[in-house]
Amino acid sequence: MIDNVTRRSKDSQSNLLDNVTRGRDENASVQSNESKRKKEVKVPMRLSKRLAGVEPEAKPSDKALEYSSKKSSQSLTPHPLPQVIRTRKEELKKAEYKVCDLGRLLDKSLMDKKEIKLDFEAQIRDLRDALKKCEEKLSREILQKEEAERNCHHLRTA
């Protein structure tokens, strides 16, 4: 199986080379600037060297290695200065203080929210109790009025 694949790839490479050289022969032009003895055959520049098999293909990993080695040699950074470390520590302390301050503010707002909620619940209870008392008073007044009307009606009929 592997031999067939390698044979096919070799055949395709030889076919490619034949096609490229045949293309060169067909597209070849003669430079007429010089004398007849020094005439030179020119090949169109659009033919790729890689397709002709002249230049091997570069692997992406090789390019990546080259790029990374160049990049690392160019950017050799010195160790951070103590002053920079000190300022970063100060920035961290300030950030921690802000976080703690915001935490306290959040706790305070949550406590305020709980207090407000309790106050509203107490007000709602008071209003419901007052409404209940008003309803009871109204029902008593209605009963008294009905009783008074019955008494008046009995007096008129009697």
Q: Does 92 map to a domain?
A: no
33: left (phi over 0), alpha (psi -120 to 50) or beta: alpha
- Domain span at residue 40? 2-54
Q: Does 120 map to a domain?
A: no
As a whole number, the mean pLDDT across the chain is 74
Q: Does 33 map to a domain?
A: yes
The structure tokens listed for 152 are 């008046």
Q: Does 105 map to a domain?
A: no
Q: Does 88 map to a domain?
A: no
Q: Does 69 map to a domain?
A: no
Q: Average pLDDT for residues 129-145, to the nearest whole number?
A: 96
pLDDT of 143 above 90 = yes
Number of domains composing the chain:
1
Q: Does 48 map to a domain?
A: yes
Cβ atoms 54, 71 nearer than 8 A: no
pLDDT for residue 35 = 59
Select the more confidently predicted residue: 143 or 64: 143
Cβ atoms 16, 53 nearer than 8 A: yes
